[in-house]
Structure 1
C-alpha cells in the first residue's frame, strides 16, 4: 500500500493534478506519463471504489477473477498490478476488444463465458484466488457473487459494484442495495461500502470477505 492505494497503483500528474495510475500499455486513449497511464474513475467502478477510499485488499501480484470485463478498460489496470487475472465476459463483441488488451499482458486470460454460470469455467480458473472483482449489468448480482465465491481463498476479498438500475429500474436504489446486501450476507461478511457518486450514479461499491 502507498498513500492508502493498492500496491502497484500510484498518483501521477497528467497535467490537471494527481490522478490514479498504473504501469502498462495504454488501452482506451487514456493520458500517459512515460510508462504510467491514467486510471479514470469515471470510466471504471473499481477506480471509483479506490478513489472513495475503500480498502479493496487488492495487492501487487494477487490472483484475480474479474467478472464483467467488457472491452478491458478496468481489467487492464487490474492486470497491470495483479498476477494471474481471469477476465470473464459474456458479449462476443466486447470479448474481441478484450483479446486485443490481452496481447500486451501475459497474465491476463480472457474467458468468453457467462458469470452466472461459473461451472462453465471452473475447469480453467484456479481456486484460492486473492480477489474477486465483479462489475456485471444483470439482475441477480448478489447471486453471481455467491456462486463465484467458490474460487476465493478463505481470506480473499470480493470487490463488487452493485448497479441498482440493473436490478430494478423503478425501485429506490437504497432499497435495491439493501436487498442485494442481505443476500450477499448469506455467504460474505460485508467489510465496507460506499456510494460511487459523483463518478457513477446509483452504484454501491462493496468490499466483503467469505464467511
Structure 2
C-alpha cells in the first residue's frame, strides 16, 4: 500500500482510505486489510474527487484534523472517504438542499461523528456560517447548477486565507451550446475573483463533461 497524499493510498491502480470504522462499509465498497490496518476502496466512478486523484491531481486539499466545508454532499459517498482522511479530530460540514439525501447522510453521521449535516441551499451562506467557530481549512463543491462557480465564490468567505479548495464543474449543467473548455474557461474567470487557480483536471473517462478545478484562496 503506497501513500498518494495524506490519508490517501494506492495499490494496483486502486485508491484507498484507512477505514475510520473498521468492519463497516458505506456504499458496498471493498474492504482490504494490510498489516492489520483496514482500508476502504474508493470508487472513481462514484466520486469526482477520486476521479481527479486517478486523473493526475497534484495536490490533495484534505488532511488529518481539517475543518472541511463540503457543498453538495448528497448521500455521503465521497464524504465518507473525507471522514476517513480527516480523522476523529477533524470535522466535515456537509451542506445539501435535498432532504432525502440528508436523511441518509444523517444516518451516516450517527456512526461517523466527524460529519455534521446541514440542510440548506449552498447559495445562502448565512444559513450555516454560525457553525464555523473558525474558518474552514479547505472547501469542496459538487453541485450541478448553472451558477456553480458563483456559489463557490460566495462560500469563499468561510474559507481561511491560503486555504485549498476544489470544485467539480459539470459543463453540461452550465451550457449545452458552448464547448466544454470554453465553459471551464468562463467559470475560471469567476473563480479568479477569490482564488488562485492551481490545476484543472479532466475527469473523463470516470465522469463525462466534468472537470475538477483545484484552487487556493487569495
1:207 corresponds to 2:214: yes
Instruction: After TM superposition, list the pairs within 5 Å mapping 1:104-143 onto structure 2.
Output: 104-143=111-150
* Residues 88 and 115 in structure 1, CA contact (< 8 A), matched pair in contact too: yes
Show the counterpart of 1:147: 154
Structure 1 residue 53, shift from structure 2 partner: 2.5
Residues in 1 aligned to 2:111 and 2:39: alpha-carbon distance in whole angstroms: 15
1:68 corresponds to 2:63: no
Residues in 1 aligned to 2:84 and 2:13: alpha-carbon distance in whole angstroms: 19
* Residues 79 and 105 in structure 1, CA contact (< 8 A), matched pair in contact too: yes
Q: Name which of 17, 28, 35 aligns with 1:22.
A: 17
Instruction: After TM superposition, list the pairs within 5 Å mapping 1:85-100 onto structure 2.
Output: 85-100=92-107
Instruction: After TM superposition, list the pairs within 5 Å mapping 1:158-169 onto structure 2.
Output: 158-169=165-176
Q: Name which of 35, 51, 61 aligns with 1:57.
A: 61
Q: Name which of 183, 186, 193 aligns with 1:176.
A: 183
Show the counterpart of 1:7: 6
Q: What secondary structure sits across from 1:127 in the alignment?
A: coil
* Residues 48 and 196 in structure 1, CA contact (< 8 A), matched pair in contact too: yes
Residues in 2 aligned to 1:18 and 1:196: alpha-carbon distance in whole angstroms: 16
Q: Which 5+ residue runs of structure 2 have no aligned equivalent?
A: none
How many matched pairs? Answer: 205
Q: Which 5+ residue runs of structure 1 have no aligned equivalent?
A: none
Please report the TM-score for the alignment, with normalisation by the length of structure 2.
0.89
Residues in 1 aligned to 2:132 and 2:102: alpha-carbon distance in whole angstroms: 17
* Residues 6 and 60 in structure 1, CA contact (< 8 A), matched pair in contact too: no
Q: What secondary structure sits across from 1:103 in the alignment?
A: helix
- RMSD of equivalent CA atoms: 1.4
